[in-house]
Structure 1
């Protein structure tokens, strides 16, 4: 299981048997940038702050 994190916020989880890029993981969890920004009170997000935890 891979956890998709934005800083310390759990964005989603992916079950896979291979390595993924952050972009692939975000696509698999159907990441909605606008909803994430609104839900967390951000003005904008930095994609460099996403990380995958295996």
Structure 2
């Protein structure tokens, strides 16, 4: 199981049996950047602030 966070916000959890990059996970979950920005009241996001926790 891996958890994808943006800063301290849990974006999604996935089950995987291998290491993945943040980009791979974002693609796998069909991440909608504009919806995430609206839902969380951000002006913009920095992709460097995403992290995966296994």
TM-score, normalization: structure 2?
0.97
Equivalent residue pairs, number: 54
Q: Which runs of 4+ in 1 moved over 4 A?
A: none
Unaligned runs of 5+ in 1: none
Asked if 2 retains the 8 angstrom alpha-carbon contact of 1:13 and 1:29, the reply is no
1:36-51 equivalent positions in 2, closer than 5 A = 36-51=36-51
Give the superposed CA RMSD: 0.4
Q: Does the 8 Å contact 1:3/1:12 carry over to 2? A: yes
Q: Separation in 2 of the partners of 1:35 and 1:49?
A: 17
